Amino acid sequence: MNLLSLPARNLMSQKLRSTLTVLGIAVAVGSFIALTGLTRGLQDSYSQGVGDVGGDYVVSQRGTYSLVSSSISEELVARLDAVAGVDEAAGIVLSIAAVDDEANIFVTGWPDGSFLWRSLMLEQGKAPAGDREVVLGRTVAEALGKTVGDEILIQYEPFRITGISVPDSVFNQNVAVARLSGLQELLGRPASVSLVQIRLARPVDPQKAANVKAALAKVSPTIEVSDSAEFAENMDFVKTVDAITSAVSLVMILASSILVANTLLMSVSERVQEFGILAAIGWTPGRIRLLVVVEGLLMCLIGSVIGVALGTAAMHLVSWLRVSAGLLEPYLTLGIIMEAMFWVLLVGPLAALYPAWRVTRATPSAALRGIR
């Protein structure tokens, strides 16, 4: 017998109890991975999507809560366009809109003739020419089961699909693109935009870009100028969702540690004589305590592996749901997996310390007599 084979045998002898505990750990780990992955995937999609249309800087309303809550007047767009070193300032409208009364997707409006349209990579069809026409990203088109020539309802108004695009970023593959004027009319915001994409005059060097960024920021105290990565990181919406996700995930992991402690405590209470025998044949109290901790660690390891699979499956399931078409994408990295396992493998063995301490309270002779 050793510190690996004996804990494994003990867990197998209590299959139902051990299985339920392992499943509890797996659900906690899976929830952490799914929630964290979807949240960070949203942030990564924002970052890539904003930078995938050829702009160098993004101008948004200062202190904006999310992509869709920012509002900038078109008069301000003209002033930004006049800043020295700016090749073009293109104001865009971005919103989450109901589609076909069963899904919600990102819809954006681009101004006619802007550099944004040159970034549009079409797989099929053509760019929209009318105010009730739209181009769908390939991913959202597949999720909605639509193709060129079909009609969709955006905010309960009919739009004809003129093209399917295949942009590089995941975010823009989940976006519907329309003419700015048409979307402004649909959303009732004719004189304002959500964001302004800034394209600098070429060639661009770091010092020149920094000077232009500073000049843009001076145009109005109500705006914030950032590159795509900064923009995604600075949004209060992403920070809020990330904080909520972390809190919920950690609470679930702490709850799973209680399962570990309860399972081990019951196991210890039922195996007093066994531990007395181990003490009688020379096992030290420290080694016996370590045996109990290893049992808890094994359950955490097995639960973590199962949890990674559950979390990955849950992310893909949520992203495939029609109601979330275009909004959520699975995002899994080694860092997210290691973060989840770190918390479980830290909290789980700590939860096993009390049962481990309790097992060595009785003397070997008392344990052999079955005295608790």
What's the burial of 115, exposed, middle or buried (CB within 10 Å: 0-12/13-18/19+)? middle
Domain membership flag for residue 157: yes
Domain end, chosen from 169, 203, 226, is at 226
Q: Is residue 31 part of a domain?
A: yes
**30 and 161 assigned to the same domain:** no
Residues 194 and 67 in one domain: yes
Check: CB of residue 263 under 8 Å from CB of residue 18.
yes
226, 260, 277 — which closes off a domain?
226
Inter-CA distances, 241 with 43, 248, 323, 331, Å: 10, 11, 19, 15
The predicted pLDDT at position 357 comes to 77
What's the confidence (pLDDT) of residue 162?
Answer: 97
Domain assignment present for 252: yes
CA distance 370 to 39: 52
Give the separation between CA 226 and CA 171, rounded to whole angstroms: 18
Residue 183 lies in a domain: yes
pLDDT at 145: 87
* Domain presence at residue 271: yes
Residue 232 maps to a domain: no
Specify whether 254 is located in the same domain as 204.
Answer: no
pLDDT of residue 371: 47
Question: Both 196 and 260 in a single domain?
Answer: no
Contacts of 299 (CB under 8 A, 6+ apart): 11, 18, 21, 22, 25, 260, 263, 348
Range of the domain at 31: 5-45+238-368
Residue 260 resides in a domain: yes
At 83, is the secondary structure helix, strand, or coil? coil
Q: What is the pLDDT of residues 256-302, one digit of tens each?
A: 777 777 777 777 666 666 777 777 777 787 887 888 788 888 888 88
Same domain, residue pair 217 and 260 = no
Q: Which residues are within 8 A (CB) of 263 and not within 5 positions of it... i.e. 6 or more apart? A: 14, 17, 18, 20, 21, 299
Residues 6+ positions from 64 with CB-CB distance below 8 Å: 70, 224, 235, 236
Please check whether residue 127 is in contact with residue 103, taking contact to mean a CB–CB distance below 8 angstroms: no
pLDDT for position 228: 64
| Shared-domain flag, residues 144 and 265 | no
Query: Both 97 and 195 in a single domain?
Result: yes
Q: What is the DSSP string of 184-196?
A: HHHHT-TTEESEE
pTM score above 0.75: no
Specify if 50 maps to a domain. no
Give the pLDDT of residue 21: 83
Q: What is the chain's pLDDT, residue by residue, as a tens digit (372 residues)?
A: 566 677 777 777 778 878 888 888 888 888 888 888 877 776 666 656 555 677 889 898 887 766 677 889 999 999 999 999 999 999 999 888 888 877 778 899 999 999 999 888 899 999 999 999 999 988 888 888 899 999 999 988 999 999 999 876 656 677 899 999 999 999 888 889 998 999 999 888 889 999 999 999 999 999 989 886 666 566 565 667 677 777 777 777 777 777 777 777 777 666 666 777 777 777 787 887 888 788 888 888 888 899 999 999 988 887 776 555 555 667 788 888 888 888 887 877 777 777 777 766 655 555 555 544
> Domain total for the chain?
2
pLDDT of residue 237: 59
Q: Are 207 and 81 within one domain?
A: yes
**361 and 273 co-located in one domain:** yes
Same domain, 156 and 278: no
Whether 81 and 163 map to the same domain: the answer is: yes
Q: Which of 226, 259, 280 is the last residue of a domain?
A: 226
Looking at the structure, tell me whether residues 214 and 159 fall in a common domain: yes
